[in-house]
Chains A and B, each alone.
Chain A
Amino acid sequence: MTTTDAVPVLRDAALDERPAVRVRGLVRRYGRRAVVDGLDLDVRPGEVFALLGPNGAGKTTTVEMLAGLRPRDGGSVEVLGEDPASGDRRWRGRVGVVGQTTGTGNALTVRETLDHYGRYHARPLPTGELLAEVGLAEAAAQRVDKLSGGQRRRLEVAIGVQGRPELLFLDEPTTGMDPVARRQFWSLVEGLRDRGTTVVLTTHYLDEAAHLADRVGVITAGRLVDVAPPAELGAHLRRAATVRWTEAGVTREVVTETPARTLRDLLAAAGAGEVPGLTVTRPGLEDVYLRLVAAPEEDR
């Protein structure tokens, strides 16, 4: 065959295009209730993907299934090219997880903790480097049970990235952090992304998703209702503008996709006079998000 030479090249290209995470029809039931209910999802290599949704939407359950920590009841999942349900230790070494409910031996110091968990990996990041990276260098000699909530989360992240994962799952990483700690945490995630780590994070904070994520997936009632870059989320909802004005002391409101036409009509009717209380507004990210999660059936 004359095309033999081209084969490896084609294969490499295929590898590059393969998504880091590919999910089709994912289902998880607790009893008769489907917590995750036919979820589809693709995460590209190297991106920061945020799963945004209210409490109880199925974010944590989804992440736990993708990370191979819980079995699924239906659908197909591929994470770094393998099914997490049967992922071996070598696969798991490529995946980092920062969960909400994971603990560490409380009686150890921060440094002892990192030194210990380093021994679970073939090529761990050096403890000193990790401490500096997550901003815990000064707390290195403190016992874990003496750390603040924010420091504890950073320790969790340090353990999560210690094995140099290609893909990192962060489950509500900043819940309970004060604003300063959240900002520090965000730069930490940006640093990871800059070095090529794919990040999947769950959050119920809009500003966090908007700030960090290349793409946001809005999840509610166990389904993904929209996926887009933060600025383009809910595009069909954003097209509608609200024109408001006051007429005979009563506030009038028109929701329209053609606000200019509505305005022309209004102005024509007013002749040379003013239109009192006139505003034209488009929905912001928060409005879009609230409408997406409030009435998924109508707006999808």
Chain B
Amino acid sequence: MTAPSTIAVRTARPAPPSAGAIGLARIGLELRLYVRDPAQIAFSFAYPVVMLVIFGSVFGDEQVLPGVGLLQYFLPGIAATGVMLTSFQAVGTAVAEERDRGDLARLQTLGTPALAYGIGKAGQVVVTTVAQLAVLLAVAALAYDIALPTDGPRWLTFAWVVALGSVAGTVLGLAVATFIGSARSAGAGIPAFAVVLQFLSGVFFADSDLPTWMDRVAALFPLKWMVQGMRSVFLPDSAAAIEQAGSWEHGTTAVVLVAWVIIGAVVCARTFRWRRAA
């Protein structure tokens, strides 16, 4: 070691913590804020379980197909909705609120890398989504006797649908929060959009009952593909016959979800702002 470099090391400030280290700290923070926010717990975390209980009380033993009860048929849609809520809706409303309140301006003054902020949000989404789906599936299995899949390939499908769906939801939530402006309009607009999308995407109806135009519109958005992917996990293969396409279309599902991840990430990278426009 040469003398000048020793001096440089001694006089310079140590480098600030990496984006990864701050991102990790932010995951903890995000989770803490999430569990302390009653609105998030009610409308993004608990909502799917409530939906399941309501569907369970409305539909008795009706069957869509021989051996496939109505509640079992709708479970995939409820699970996909849950992923959308803990990712897209939770992130979109929270980011708009944090920007309004100046939390993001604070992060800017601290020189926080935007990547660290994204890591925090993504980590929060992964943890809350996994916890939410675990509760949902446990209630479905224990309270409503819905048989869950037992084979590996189906759970693998489940895993990639959840992973791609929640990452797409996270980046799209971040992107939407930038365009939508105030926390007020985000709080009203994002949940309303989410509900309309649920109707379009066949969360409340059998896929074959949807008008063709509706299925086509829904096919532009990720939710329909998440619902369809989830049906391929929780329904017997014979149920693929009542899909509009007549099959589960795994390839298309993966392509559409990956495309939305890329679109969302590019939009975020180009438009993310710490402050509201002056």
Contact = CB atoms under 8 A, between A and B. Distances in A.
Interface of A: 30, 67, 69-70, 89-90, 92-94, 97, 99, 101-108, 112, 116-117, 119-123, 159-160, 163
**Main secondary structure on A side of the interface with B:** loop
Interface stretch (B57-65, B97-105, B170-178, B255-263): B97-105
Given A92-B111, A119-B21, A120-B112, A105 B105 contact: no
Nearest to B25: A119
Contact of A105 (B22, B103, B113): B103
B73 to A, nearest CB: 39
A112 B29 CA distance: 9
Contact of A101 (B29, B37, B105): B105
A59 to B, nearest CB: 15
B45 to A, nearest CB: 15
B105 A90 contact: no
14 contacts: A30-B278, A69-B109, A69-B275, A90-B15, A92-B111, A97-B109, A102-B106, A106-B101, A108-B33, A112-B32, A116-B28, A120-B110, A121-B17, A160-B109
Interface residues of B, number: 28
A90 B13 contact: yes
B108 interface: yes
A94 B25 contact: no
Contacts of B25: 116, 119-120
Nearest 9 Cβ contacts at the A-B interface: A92-B111, A103-B102, A107-B36, A122-B14, A103-B101, A97-B109, A102-B106, A119-B25, A101-B102
A216 B113 CA distance: 35
A67 B13 CA distance: 19
A69 B102 CA distance: 13
Given A93-B16, A123-B14, A99 B21 contact: no
A105 B15 contact: no
Contacts of B278: 30, 70
A116 B103 CA distance: 13
B41 to A, nearest CB: 12
B105 A99 contact: yes
Contacts of A92: 16, 110-111
A102 B108 CA distance: 9
Given A92-B111, A93-B111, A102 B105 contact: yes
Interface in B238-278: 275, 278
A123 B17 CA distance: 10
Contacts of B37: 107
Contacts of B16: 89-90, 92-93, 120-122
A67 B109 CA distance: 8
Nearest to B103: A103
Nearest to A119: B25
Given A103-B102, A119-B17, A108 B109 contact: no
Given A99-B106, A103-B98, A106-B101, 4 more contacts: A70-B278, A92-B16, A107-B32, A108-B32
A108 B80 CA distance: 31
Contacts, number: 81
Nearest to B14: A122
Nearest to B102: A103
B21 to A, nearest CB: 7
Contacts of A103: 98, 101-103, 105-106
Contacts of A94: 13
Contact of A120 (B22, B98, B102): B22
A64 B103 CA distance: 16
A59 B105 CA distance: 18
A116 B24 CA distance: 11
A102 B109 contact: yes
A168 to B, nearest CB: 11
Which of A99, A105, A108 gathers most chain B CB within 10 Å? A105
A90 to B, nearest CB: 6
A116 B27 CA distance: 11
Interface string B186-215: 000000000000000000000000000000
A132 B239 CA distance: 66
A126 to B, nearest CB: 16
A257 B221 CA distance: 78
Interface string B82-99: 000000000000000010
A120 B110 CA distance: 7
Contacts of B103: 102-105
Nearest to B37: A107
B39 to A, nearest CB: 11
Contacts of B111: 89, 92-93, 120
Interface string B36-49: 11000000000000
